[in-house]
Amino acid sequence: MKIVKENSKVVPSKGDRLKWTPLKDAKVVPLSTELIKGKLLTSDDLDRTRQTNSNSNNVIVP
């Protein structure tokens, strides 16, 4: 017996949902020393990123 879903919705693709840029409109990103502004992360920054205190037992490189 064939079951037909009457209220099934078409889920928009990820690019549509998140309003990404069409490939044809994507711009090349030039790299320059001015653009590449880094931030030196402290141990506290890393703790905030992983949302836990550091657990040295699990690290790959200390």
**Given the rule CB under 8 A, which residues bind other proteins?**
12-16, 18, 20-24, 26, 28-33, 35-43, 45-47, 49-50, 54, 56, 58-62
Nearer to other proteins, 7 or 38 (CB): 38
Minimum gap (Å) between residue 4 Cβ and other proteins: 24
Minimal distance, residue 8 CB to other proteins, in Å: 18
CA gyration radius, the chain: 23
The DSSP secondary-structure symbol of 6 reads: S
Contact of 42 with 54, CB cutoff 8 Å = no
